[in-house]
Structure 1
Amino acid sequence: MRGTGRIVRFDDVRGYGFIAPDSGGEDVFLHANDLDFDRLLTKRGTRVSFDIEDGPRGKFATAVLITSEGSGRTGAGSKAAASDTDEYFDVFSAQEFKEAATEILLEATPSITGEQIVRIRAAFEGFARKHGWIE
């Protein structure tokens, strides 16, 4: 069965993540070997289509493709791609942006302090607002 959804998490180091299916229900496991595109494009919010299979640990995705709707919340690339194809792209709310930025900072640098996160996040939030990436 073919489904669609958004990538909710992908760990590039471990090579796996999860997709929230548009049909609802539990997230679907995603492995890098099942991507039919460059794994560097696996960002939170990326819209994908995929085949759903049942495995011993639950559902998993195979033959995963980025949908024609674009790649969701992937920053400047989405804006450029959207303007090239006259399609819409997702824009973060300020809160969604802060949450995503915090998660990325903590994953990239576990030793980062709260004060550093607040300063870096504020700088990026100003930059993102200036470019229309957040509401």
Structure 2
Amino acid sequence: MVQGKVIRFDEVRGYGFVAPDTGGDDVFIHVNDLEFDKRHLAVGAVVDFTVEDGDRGLKASTVTLVAPAPVLAGVGASPGALGGVPTFLPPLPDAAARPAGEAPSERELAAEVTEVLLAGVPTLTAEQVLAARGVFVAVARSHGWV
């Protein structure tokens, strides 16, 4: 079993991503693999899961809830790309709080790119999101942006 934190979950669509505590690529999570009620899953929740190779990349299975998502000040609904259905976004570090000239971390950039891709093109599959994000982060790394 692996433990990780949910970084995105769309309850309407029934899928999202979890970042393993051990590092590495984010893992696709689907409502059908939850061992608990999906209403308890939100960004920031801590879950235990088994990692499997799915048809489209890494996939979480046998997902159990370790700790519910914390209530975070300043995090709320933002207009989603699902016909006005709110999408709850994880908080990203305030760029103004970062010292001048300091680039975001790869993890920060990856989280933001994931949100942009899912909001801009909601029909993308998990595999497509991970592939596009990987290419973008690699380009950012090669230019020293992260």
Shorter-chain TM-score range = 0.5 to 0.7
Alpha-carbon distance, 1:42 to partner: 0.8
Partner of 1:105: 78
The normalised TM-score by structure 2 is: 0.52
Task: Give 1 or 2: higher helix fraction.
Answer: 1
Partner of 2:69: 72
Partner of 1:26: 25
SS in 2 for 1:29: strand
Identity in percent: 40
Partner of 1:8: 7
Task: Give 1 or 2: higher strand fraction.
Answer: 2
Partner of 2:42: 43
Does structure 1 conserve the Cα–Cα contact (< 8 Å) formed by 2:7 and 2:43?
yes
Alpha-carbon distance, 1:26 to partner: 1.1
1:11 to 1:111, Cα distance in 2 relative to 1, 3 A? closer
Does structure 1 conserve the Cα–Cα contact (< 8 Å) formed by 2:35 and 2:63?
yes
Give the count of matched residue pairs: 85
What is the CA RMSD across the aligned residues, in angstroms? Answer: 2.2
Segments of structure 2 that go 5 or more residues without pairing to the other structure are: 87-146
Alpha-carbon distance, 1:35 to partner: 0.3
The normalised TM-score by structure 1 is: 0.56
SS in 2 for 1:53: strand
Does structure 1 conserve the Cα–Cα contact (< 8 Å) formed by 2:41 and 2:69?
no
SS in 2 for 1:43: coil
Q: Tell me, in whole angstroms, the C-alpha distance in 2 between the residues paired with 1:111 and 1:36.
A: 25
SS in 2 for 1:37: coil
